Structure 1
Amino acid sequence: MSDSKKSIGWGYLPDEILTHIFTFLPIKSIIICASVSKTWKSLIKNPTFISTHLHHSHNKSQNLFLLLNISRNDREVYTLHKEDDDPDFTEYASFDSPFHGPHLRHPHHNVVGTCNGLLCLSDGSPYFAKELFLWNPCVRKLLQFPIPRDTFNTHGLFQASFGFGFDPKTNDYKVVRILSIFGGSPLDFGKSRHVVEVYSLFAGEWRMLSASDSLPLTYAIISSGPPAFANGALHWIAFSNDNKQFVLVFDLGDEVFRQILLPELPSYTEGMMWTRVSVYGNSIAGFQRREGSGPMNIWVMKEYGVASSWTKFSYQCPSLGMLRPCPVGFRRNGEVVLEDNRIGEAVLLNDRRGLISWNPDSQDVKNLEINGSHKTFFGSFVESLVLLDKATKGVVTY
């Protein structure tokens, strides 16, 4: 073999072949490749390649994981669990919270949502949060940005809620904040008004939607936990002034609100309240329960957006014996993950809540042997390179 042929190596491969090879590599290997040369770094940090890699990851079902926010040795840890053919829910990887670093100390934060490998976090509840963060733990990038400041002095009594998702029409990530400002009592919806603000990652700033874009209905959001992001839209449970409960939907592409009607319930279910809406495959599901202990209804929307397709596939979990069964989401096999608050008095005193998986069809219960907390977040996750190309103000590499 001639010397010229011996010298041909990876550095001489066409860019198209290199990017094709990179697409099939694990995230850790891609990050290492980005340090090999300026050429490789430029190819990997190209926004087009990042989008191509994300699309490939979504198409590989074995790359879908479930994300949990738990407490381990009094530290917040995010764990990934590979679900496919794994009834034991074995841990695949874990990430320490980025806020344990010396320059990023925030004692309390909440998960607003997750999408395409990004986590949206707030430094407190929606009422008191001052900053939001977009975090990609796989590439160790954190974007920090402020929240428009609203207080009791500026608006009076108000309710706040955040949502996070991806707009496929503009290839943009958006954070939505809804302020419900009450003219008097929080129950006096007739005097309430709503302020809707949208943060665009592409623009790097907040926008306030005009009044015509807001839902022309007096309502209050009553969902516990963050909204469900499905089919390009955010979903909350809301309560109107005429005592109607419905799913409040905000389309991230059109930036308009709409409603999805909830099932009409017979009179014997009086006292049952809708508590939250969750992602269920490519659709949504709603949880309904009474105050305190008692039965829990789970409704699945079989055909997204079609109110007549709501199906109650289980109505209670009598075998669990919990004080307050608290659903946190669904596994890919349709099982419900709940916080079991009866694990033990010592556990409860330390705010540790055991997570269990419950099959509504067979009524089988499996202890996942994972301790959660009142801030436990459960949702699908895909490893991605999103934010790797960002080097703007507010982005921290740690």
Structure 2
Amino acid sequence: MAATKSNTTINNLSDDSLTEIFCKLPCKSLFSCKSVSKHWLTLISNTNFHSLYLTHQHTLFHKIQSQGEDPDQPSFILKPYNALVIAPNLPSLQLGSLENHLSLTSLGSDFEPANIVPQLRSVLKFVFACSNGLLVYGNPRPRHKCVYHVRNPLTKDSLKLPSAPTLCDHAGVLVGFMCDPYYSLAKENSGLSIVPTSERRFRVVRIPAFSDTRVTFDVEVFSSETGEWKRFVVSCPQGFACGFFLTSSSVEHEGKLYFMGGGRVLVYDPYDDECVASVIELPRGFGEAYRGCLGVSCGKLQLSEFPISPSSAFEAYSGRVWELEYCGKEEERRWKLVHEFCLPEIIGPMFQELKALEVEYVRGCSRILAFHPYVKDSVFLKFGDNIICCNLLTRRFRVCKYGGLSLLFYPVIPVLLPWWPTPIPSSPSLVDPSV
């Protein structure tokens, strides 16, 4: 008997079968699938599908985590800008060459980084902060009002904000950014699942720099709900000196922003109507603040000093890492030293090889750029014109070349790609003409 020929095609598959297939595709491919038919567009755009897709990614992510550190996990500098992209090695982010999909090159000539050292000294920043996969970028020129943009580097969606209230000063400005996540973890009878959030908002925070210690100071906040900037007088009873450091940046952690300056860490909640900030003292024996890096790893706030103020050639490549501990009440916080390390001991013979290749303009500019967000004990270091991803506990490391001068002076902003691109929350009457 002849075999019966099947007439089943992808066009007459059930929604359940299509959903199962779509859950295994990279999110970039899903965006392309939306243009195939109205049926596919409706299915992929549905928040119920997003929940199934994200729950599938959550399961895969924890399976990879349980297997230990992933040496092939993508991470790279988003050339030629000061952003360090860190992507989970998951199907949702298997985009081929991520560098070709994540781009800020359409920002225009006003945002092209300078390529010679004198121009780098003009104290221009480009990428200020990242929250849930969205970037805040701008070009603050002295004696000008800065215009900030919120951008999703994966989808290329952008939102241009109104000009900042005050002029940019030569002393600089600290900028923070918080955006609600697109999805959250939910407990159900069948277990855990990921669900898209119905309401989203963001805040952009500006603190004009000042060198003296103050108990009150001005903070400018842009709210996505109102579409406007508003100036607040913030009270900080312990005092804070907002000295501007080119290698500093804000850190978002548990609904608050953290800024380094003047030997302390400022803690500020842009959603708090009481406008009261607090500070965390740096660890005893901490050196110069510009050698520090503040970040979050595995849900813990961490602080590094690298290199330690050198009194010997050995210390020139030594560092320390602390983790913030809560001792009962929130105000009872202290730094716990978790790592003391020497870079030559970790990377062995390769250290002398990399050191010999240092060119004049990058010599002596080693520093920690960021902490790994979900691989414990791992940091990203700049050594010469190389980026070293290093696990301080296991001593495993990976070296990649970076020839961009901008890393000499600019803060490097960690960009953790979410499993599904975060839509930019809408603001009243704001439309970016470049989109």
**TM-score, with length taken from structure 1:** 0.69
Match of 2:259 among 236, 255, 259: 236
Aligned residues of 2:78 and 2:85 also touching (Cα < 8 A): no
Query: Are 1:106 and 2:137 an aligned pair?
Result: no
Aligned residues of 2:320 and 2:337 also touching (Cα < 8 A): no
Query: Are 1:34 and 2:77 an aligned pair?
Result: no
What are the residue-to-residue correspondences of 1:161-200 with 2, within 5 Å? 161-167=174-180, 171-180=199-208, 186-190=210-214, 193-200=217-224
Match of 1:208 among 230, 238, 248: 230
Count of aligned positions: 356
CA–CA separation in structure 1 for the residues paired with 2:132 and 2:383: 29
Secondary structure, in 3 states, of the residue corresponding to 2:111? coil
Q: What are structure 2's unaligned runs of at least 5 residues?
A: 1-5, 91-95, 114-124, 182-196, 346-350, 356-362
Query: Are 1:248 and 2:266 an aligned pair?
Result: yes
CA–CA separation in structure 2 for the residues paired with 1:315 and 1:127: 43
Query: What residue is the counterpart of 1:288 in the other structure?
Result: 305
CA–CA separation in structure 1 for the residues paired with 2:335 and 2:7: 64
CA–CA separation in structure 1 for the residues paired with 2:413 and 2:164: 25
Paired amino acid for 2:266: L
Aligned residues of 1:31 and 1:139 also touching (Cα < 8 A): no
**TM-score, with length taken from structure 2:** 0.64
What are the residue-to-residue correspondences of 1:1-398 with 2, within 5 Å? 13=14, 22-45=22-45, 53=53, 57=57, 60-61=60-61, 67-71=75-79, 93-95=98-100, 98-101=103-106, 106-108=111-113, 110-124=126-140, 130-151=146-167, 159-167=172-180, 171-180=199-208, 186-190=210-214, 193-200=217-224, 203=225, 205-208=227-230, 210-211=232-233, 214-222=235-243, 224-239=247-262, 245-251=263-269, 253-254=271-272, 258-259=277-278, 261-262=280-281, 264-265=283-284, 269=285, 271-273=287-289, 275-288=292-305, 294=316, 295-301=318-324, 307-308=333-334, 310-314=336-340, 316-317=342-343, 319=345, 323-331=364-372, 332-341=375-384, 353-361=385-393, 366-372=398-404, 373-374=406-407, 375=410, 376-387=412-423, 393-395=430-432
Aligned residues of 2:287 and 2:305 also touching (Cα < 8 A): no
Aligned residues of 1:141 and 1:397 also touching (Cα < 8 A): no
Q: Which string of whole-angstrom CA distances, capped at 9 and with x for unpartnered residues, describes residues 266-288 of structure 1?
A: xxx37444633111211111123
Secondary structure, in 3 states, of the residue corresponding to 1:32? helix
Deviation at 1:325, TM superposition (A): 2.2
Paired amino acid for 2:297: Y
Deviation at 1:205, TM superposition (A): 1.1
C-alpha spacing 1:207/1:29, structure 2 compared with 1 (3 Å): same
Aligned residues of 1:193 and 1:218 also touching (Cα < 8 A): no
Identity of aligned residues (%): 17
CA–CA separation in structure 1 for the residues paired with 2:389 and 2:97: 18
C-alpha spacing 1:397/1:178, structure 2 compared with 1 (3 Å): closer
Q: Which string of whole-angstrom CA distances, capped at 9 and with x for unpartnered residues, describes residues 228-254 of structure 1?
A: 222232211233xxxxx3322233554
Paired amino acid for 1:385: P
Deviation at 1:302, TM superposition (A): 5.4
Paired amino acid for 2:203: V
Deviation at 1:57, TM superposition (A): 4.3
Paired amino acid for 1:177: V
CA–CA separation in structure 2 for the residues paired with 1:11 and 1:119: 40
Deviation at 1:197, TM superposition (A): 1.0
Query: What residue is the counterpart of 2:360 in the other structure?
Result: none
C-alpha spacing 1:95/1:55, structure 2 compared with 1 (3 Å): farther
Aligned residues of 1:122 and 1:129 also touching (Cα < 8 A): no
Deviates more, 1:97-106 or 1:319-328: 97-106
CA–CA separation in structure 2 for the residues paired with 1:25 and 1:229: 30
Q: Which string of whole-angstrom CA distances, capped at 9 and with x for unpartnered residues, describes residues 13-46 of structure 1?
A: 56x8866764553212211221123343345445
Aligned residues of 2:138 and 2:149 also touching (Cα < 8 A): yes
Aligned residues of 1:113 and 1:121 also touching (Cα < 8 A): yes
RMSD over aligned Cα atoms: 4.5
C-alpha spacing 1:336/1:191, structure 2 compared with 1 (3 Å): closer
Query: What residue is the counterpart of 1:350 in the other structure?
Result: none
Paired amino acid for 1:284: L
Aligned residues of 1:66 and 1:378 also touching (Cα < 8 A): no
Aligned residues of 1:196 and 1:214 also touching (Cα < 8 A): no
C-alpha spacing 1:397/1:176, structure 2 compared with 1 (3 Å): closer
Q: What are structure 1's unaligned runs of at least 5 residues?
A: 86-90, 240-244, 342-352
CA–CA separation in structure 1 for the residues paired with 2:36 and 2:250: 41
CA–CA separation in structure 1 for the residues paired with 2:298 and 2:324: 10
Deviation at 1:300, TM superposition (A): 1.9
Paired amino acid for 2:133: G
CA–CA separation in structure 2 for the residues paired with 1:122 and 1:250: 22
C-alpha spacing 1:228/1:171, structure 2 compared with 1 (3 Å): farther
Aligned residues of 2:221 and 2:270 also touching (Cα < 8 A): no
Deviates more, 1:330-339 or 1:361-370: 361-370
